[in-house]
Structure 1
Amino acid sequence: MVVGAGIVGLAHAVAAVERGMSVTVVERDDHAVGASVRNFGHACITAQTGEALRFAEHARGTWLRLGEQAGFGVAECGTVVAARSGEETAALEELAELRGPDQVRLLTADETTSTAAVSAEGLHGGALLPRDLRVDQRRAAAAIAAWLTEQPGVRVLWGTPVLSVEDGLVRTGRGPLHGDHVVVCAGHDLDRIIPDAAEADGIRRCVLQMLQLRAAGLKLGPALLTGTSMLRYPALAGTEGARALRERWSEQRPELLAASVNHMLTQLPDGDLVVGDTHTYARTPEPWSSEELDELLLAETRALLGRDDLAVVRRWQGVYASADGEFLRTRVSPGVTAVAVTSGIGMTTAFGLAPTVVESLA
């Protein structure tokens, strides 16, 4: 039994089905409305390190296969990282030397503007990360859940709130459910179901402010990262260039660091841009959005693209589980395991993480 029909929960259901298990997925809402649909739809593979990189590489193949089988868009469009300072260029050069040309291809300023719709003003160059994927995040979870229900021995119970779990038992608002193993994939709401496990791992909520923008005629293509992204993604954040950039920004751009900005863009199938994001952390966050942070994202986007005609279509808050590590895997009891991606990379890694958890159950 899997609690939660977001991407992490669905990944565990897929992994279980592939190993011949019967699966019941229990979800409190009528469809996925959390982090699995509020994100960039970006599988950021190359910028990961360690276990996350291994999970991301495995997940890449699963995304491509599921996109075809379940009928949603997965594009092998890669990511362009724009460098607008010497420190950012140095960080990309360090990553290219570490990973090689198959994973990181350095770009001149002209190549960067021709590969992604970036303004040439102040641009030093960039890099293409060709192995990254673009997933249609607003369709993927629903399509995967529908595909799962077509597999033998699988059911997905929507609108079924989980009250508690124990070995072999999930108590729901619609009555008890029984099974051999329970995997709780409730994301940042793990503390609503297993508060002791969430507290022991220091789970808190990370709240993001994000925007959907309309830019007539703009064709972005790959995902687009900036210098702020170099301070967040570990393969780049560990470079000397990124460390020097953070040091300079602590004096010149403290507002970016204070808001933990990861300014990046992806493009939806209808052409609108998903733009974000800022980060605040608390166990119980305040419910208010900040117009100042939205304006910061808009100003950065106008400068990056060299366009003033960006219209805001939607604003929203994303929320994901955050902790000191990247992943939570806690065996709560012999028959109950709590799982969460606690670093905001669930789309990137879930389909690599889930097989390791399911195999451990067997």
Structure 2
Amino acid sequence: MVVGAGIVGLAHAVEAVARGLSVTVVERDERAVGASVRNFGHGCVTAQVGEALAFGERARGTWLRLGREAGFAALETGTVVVARAAEELAALEELATERGADDVVLLDAAGVGARVRVPGALGGAFLPRDLRVDPRAAAPAIAAWLAAQPGVAFRWATPVLGVAEGVVRTGRGDLHADRVVVCTGHDLDRLLPEVAEDAGLQRCVLQMLQVRVPGVRLDPALLTGSSMLRYPALSRTAGAQALRRRWESERPDLLGAVVNHMITQRPPGSDGAGDLVVGDTHAYARTHPPFSDESLDDLLLAETRSLLGVPASGVRVVHRWRGVYASAAGEFLRAPVAPGVTAVSVTSGIGMTTAFGLAPSVLDSL
């Protein structure tokens, strides 16, 4: 039994089906509405390290298979990381040396321009192994595909009140299973507060935007220097560390808001096809105030206009939202709760990238 039908919970259900197990997914809402649909749809494989890199590489194949079988677009568009400063170029060169030309393709200014229109780019890199999906379509498509498999059941709109060995207590009565995986993400403390407290779990709240910029086409995801300060394969380079030192005096606004300025484009056939998903800022606390800060949206919009070289009148906001994910030390929480019961959460904002690689390791441990 899986508690939670976000992408992490669905990944565990997919892996259970692959192993010939029966599986029931219990979800408090009528559909996934949390972190799994409020993100960029970016499978950021190459910029990870260690266990996250291994999980991302394994998840990549599962995403491509599910795209075919469940009927949603999983696109091998890759990522362009644009460099507009010498330190950023140095960081990308260090990563290319470490990973090799198959994973990191260095670009000069013309090479960047052939893929994305970014005025003032000194160069960049293309990460061909990264993927792009539409998160608003992928999660429901995977749930529908699972529901059609033998031995799979969903209990939607069913709040879980407690878990113990062999049982999940819900607002609709008790459910029984040999093994239980709790995948409630940032709301783990609502169900298992002591597990969340032991892990130091907080909520990371993001501000994100969907904007319309006529004439802009971005097949790959687009990352910037601020992304190099966020993703571990780049942030540990000497170039990124030098960039952070310079930004401490020159761009304290970006550092203070913990900005990862990146952009993906809504895919053809989607709601808002061609619009750009722009983000994101990061704030950490167990309980956040319910109010968005307009100055953070203004910062993201200004950075987007500067990056793409468009006037203020050329960017129209279509949607604004607050994303949220679980944050704790390390990238993954895997905590035994009771015999046969495990709590699992991706605690670093890379659930879309890694969940389908994480799930097999969790089922191996049960």
Where does residue 203 of structure 1 map in the other structure? 201
C-alpha deviation, 1:359, in angstroms: 1.5
| Length, aligned pairs only | 359
Where does residue 186 of structure 1 map in the other structure? 184
Q: Which runs of 5+ in 1 are unaligned?
A: none
Q: Which amino acid aligns with 2:254?
A: L
Where does residue 61 of structure 1 map in the other structure? 61
How many angstroms apart in 2 are the aligned matches of 1:187 and 1:180?
Answer: 22
Indicate the SS of the match to 2:330.
coil
How many angstroms apart in 1 are the aligned matches of 2:65 and 2:116?
Answer: 26
How many angstroms apart in 2 are the aligned matches of 1:42 and 1:56?
Answer: 11
Q: Which runs of 5+ in 2 are unaligned?
A: 268-272
How many angstroms apart in 1 are the aligned matches of 2:276 and 2:212?
Answer: 6
Q: Which amino acid aligns with 1:3?
A: V
How many angstroms apart in 1 are the aligned matches of 2:250 and 2:227?
Answer: 17
C-alpha deviation, 1:125, in angstroms: 0.5
Indicate the SS of the match to 1:77.
coil
Indicate the SS of the match to 2:37.
coil
Indicate the SS of the match to 2:282.
strand
Scaled by the length of structure 1, what TM-score is found?
0.99
How many angstroms apart in 2 are the aligned matches of 1:165 and 1:268?
Answer: 38
From 152, 155, 160, the equivalent of 1:157 is 155
C-alpha deviation, 1:117, in angstroms: 2.5
Where does residue 270 of structure 2 map in the other structure? none
How many angstroms apart in 1 are the aligned matches of 2:354 and 2:261?
Answer: 21
From 125, 130, 133, the equivalent of 2:131 is 133
The 5 A counterparts of 1:275-286 are 275-286=278-289
The 5 A counterparts of 1:307-322 are 307-308=310-311, 309-322=314-327
The 5 A counterparts of 1:1-362 are 1-119=1-119, 121=120, 123-269=121-267, 270-308=273-311, 309-361=314-366
How many angstroms apart in 2 are the aligned matches of 1:304 and 1:102?
Answer: 27
Q: Which amino acid aligns with 1:320?
A: Y
Q: Which amino acid aligns with 1:348?
A: T
How many angstroms apart in 1 are the aligned matches of 2:69 and 2:196?
Answer: 35
How many angstroms apart in 1 are the aligned matches of 2:23 and 2:154?
Answer: 8
- How high is the sequence identity, in percent, across the aligned residues? 70
C-alpha deviation, 1:217, in angstroms: 2.4
Q: Deviations over 1:23-73 (max 9, x none)?
A: 000000011100000000000000000000000000000000000000011
Task: Tell me how large the CA RMSD over aligned residues is.
Answer: 0.6
C-alpha deviation, 1:101, in angstroms: 0.4
Indicate the SS of the match to 1:160.
coil
Indicate the SS of the match to 1:302.
helix
Q: Deviations over 1:201-223 (max 9, x none)?
A: 00000000000000112111100
How many angstroms apart in 2 are the aligned matches of 1:286 and 1:45?
Answer: 33
How many angstroms apart in 2 are the aligned matches of 1:21 and 1:117?
Answer: 48
How many angstroms apart in 1 are the aligned matches of 2:16 and 2:43?
Answer: 22
Q: Deviations over 1:290-344 (max 9, x none)?
A: 1100000000000000012010000000000000110000011112100000000
